[in-house]
Chain A
């Protein structure tokens, strides 16, 4: 797939650059994140979540939670707390400006709460192309575990890489 930027006509043209398929299955750097209650409160505010269990510790406890629950999609945000969130693109040689989110999947094993430390273990699950190489697809999967190793959730992200050179020629 050709990832040369159209705004840099003088950029060197790599010979048929394509995904290095040997990277399928390779693990990205694992990391851990402590869930901060303040981040959950600002996420609830920014996403219109008015249920007080997501922003008020006392309301969460009254509802039987040890602390604020981590809302369903926030695990994706925590995944971006990786010390090197660009690692997958850097290893594949992808220009991040050409990346769009294609799909997002979550499987939940149990609720996580503020104050917990969660462990993220991401790996490149698949790499493929469509439309004669005009679109590239990067699939990575992340297992999220609690500190005792018990599963919390499994995430699967599909990122679409646009090919600007072909788009202009179309």
Chain B
């Protein structure tokens, strides 16, 4: 059991987040291998340039996985009911990624106490990379 408790969280609360990066080409290559996503846009600069991109860039799913890790740092994974994101902007080589969880709602659904969260990933300037939502069940 992790630290969160339904009665202890309030709408507006920021839960512990995390920071990752700066993103290296090595980290992107390693994620490509581990995820099985070998899309050359992420790992082959020649291909990326031919496709009109200035450089390779990180998989959006790598940042989403960090957001998911921020969630499993505060709740057991079995408590996660949903996780959704929109990839707003490309995460470039050298970017830091800051993952944030903010409580947006508390409600009961299917006889279960649940909390809705806004999940977001930004660079250190606060520029949005991913934005979305998650629902978790809390005791």
Point out residues on A near B: beta carbons under 8 Å: 5-7, 39, 42-43, 45-49, 51, 69, 71-74, 76-77, 80-81, 96-98, 100-108, 110-111, 156, 162, 164, 167
Contact = CB atoms under 8 A, between A and B. Distances in A.
Given A72-B65, A104-B85, 6 more contacts: A72-B80, A74-B35, A107-B82, A108-B80, A108-B82, A164-B51
A72 B72 contact: yes
Dominant secondary structure at the B interface: helix
Contacts of A107: 81-82
B108 to A, nearest CB: 18
Is chain A's interface secondary structure helix, strand, loop, or mixed overall?
A: mixed
A96 B67 CA distance: 26
Given A46-B31, A167-B52, A103 B86 contact: yes
A76 B35 CA distance: 9
Interface residues of B, number: 39
Interface stretch (B6-14, B36-44, B120-128): B36-44
Nearest to A95: B51
Contacts of B139: none
A47 B83 contact: no
